[in-house]
Amino acid sequence: MTSPTSPEEPWPVRTVARKIAEWINRLGSIWVEGQITQISMRPGAATAFLQLRDPSADVSLTLTCSSAMLRKMDPPLTDGSRVVVHGKPTFFVGRGTLSLRVDEIRAVGIGELLARIERLRQLLKAEGLFDPARKRPLPFLPNRVGLITGRASAAEHDVLTNAELRWPAVQFEIRNVAVQGSSAVPQILEALQELDKMPEVDVIVLARGGGSVEDLLPFSDEALCRAVSACRTPVVSAIGHEPDSPLLDHVADVRCSTPTGAGKRVVPDVAEETQRIHQLRDRARRALHGWVDRERRLLDALRSRPVLADPLGPLAQRAEQVGMLRDRARRAMTTALNTEQHALTATRSRLTTLGPAATLARGYAIVQRIEDGADGVLRSVDEAPPGTRLRVRVVDGAIQAVVPDRAG
């Protein structure tokens, strides 16, 4: 590919294929890990063909190797085997296909798989995917339950049966997928994304029966764990039996040891909830009756008080008290007036007794002669000669002056 082409001077197919092969042949050898999905080895053929698949993605690569090397594998390779291969990319000009020419195949043992799972566990834990704080609670009564499991599997039967026994009206949205092998992770991821986008699905259950470590490997896949962590819908993990613990159990919001436990966990028990409703209703009834009785006793106590039993009685008592106080005030005022009247009468009597009017009323007079008076007013009767007739001037009952009667 040293010069550009044009519609007038195009390259033939052989030239393009040859140049691509030359470019790929310059690539070096590499180590690749994957899962064997297909083995094609014809009797007597020197070359065997295999398909190597990425467990976490729908991507595969063709492998070619010598049939003799493949026959010497112990244990023999089968579909689903996890392997690490060493080879060189090769482009076949005649067929226009790309493959990896393999010169060494190593089966990944259980110990190595477990070690890889443990390393991935530590990585996800460090990133916080196992943190209990990020786990979401399950809804009390989901509108619809999403179920991802194998087709016609015992796990599907256990989840459906136990959930319907507890809540007969429960509704499921089921997605049947491969739960082991090379196609398990892509199918589970697709079903998970589909259910997570459905607004009516309130919880998603991933269920599978027990199996070997190799069978449960898809549920420890990094891509699946991250997809479950990113779901907006709560996810329940029900993989294998109690001793099984794939990484999905730690990432999911709720972990159930078996599919049976998941069926009992996602929905409430209708019998228990009915009994609880009856208990709460009885408690409410007792509380209401107790409150009514307490208020009734309070009303009876208030009604039995004198102010409410005889509301006019206090008014009558107050009216009687007002009358008594009024009588006391009248008597006190009368007594005070009588006392003052008696005192006034006594004073008047004394004044009358001591005044000249009383003396005059008895026929007596006391006069005085004033020598220097123009009228010759006497200050005393003794000053007049005996036999002198006196004239007495009385004004308003009082002697105003006594003078000699000159006419006489």
- For 96-144, how does the pLDDT look when each residue is reduced to its tens digit (9 = 90+)? 888 899 988 887 776 677 778 888 889 999 999 999 999 999 999 999 9
Percentage of the chain beyond pLDDT 70 is 85
CA separation for the pair 185, 177 (Å, rounded): 9
CB 149 within 8 A of CB 177: yes
Q: State whether residue 51 is helix, strand or coil.
A: strand
pLDDT at 56 (0 to 100): 67
pLDDT (tens digit per residue) in 248-283: 999 999 999 899 999 999 999 999 999 999 999 999
pLDDT surpasses 90 at 322: yes
| pLDDT tier for residue 311 given thresholds of 50, 70 and 90 | confident
CA angle 135, 151, 38 (to 5 degrees): 100
d(CA 134, CA 183): 29
What is the pLDDT, as a whole number, of residue 378? 46
Measured distance CA(180)–CA(192) in Å, rounded: 16
pLDDT at position 236 over 90: yes
Q: Beta-carbon neighbour count of residue 234 at 10 Å?
A: 19
In this prediction the pTM is 0.56
Q: State phi, psi for 52 to the nearest 5 degrees.
A: -105, 120
Q: By the 8 A CB rule, do 254 and 234 touch?
A: yes
Q: How far is CA 30 from the centre of its chain?
A: 56
pLDDT band at 146 (very low <50, low <70, confident <90, very high): very high
Question: Quick check: 15 pLDDT over 90?
Answer: no
Which distant-in-sequence residues (6+ apart) come within 8 Å of 68 by Cβ? 46
Kindly report, residue by residue over 363-387, the tens digit of the pLDDT.
665 555 454 544 444 444 555 555 5
Distances 269 to 163, 237, 275, 279, 340 between C-alpha atoms, Å: 9, 20, 10, 15, 101
Query: If you write DSSP's letter for every residue of 9-34 in order, what string do you get?
Result: SPPPHHHHHHHHHHHHHTS--EEEEE
- DSSP β-ladder status, 30-40 and 82-92: antiparallel
Is the pLDDT at 304 greater than 60, yes or no? yes
CA–CA dist 20, 207 (Å, integer): 46
Of 108-117, 204-213, 309-318, 351-360, which has the strongest mean pLDDT? 204-213
Q: Alpha-carbon distance 408 to 388, whole Å?
A: 9
Among 52-61, 315-324, 356-365, the minimum mean pLDDT is found in 356-365
pLDDT at 200 (0 to 100): 94
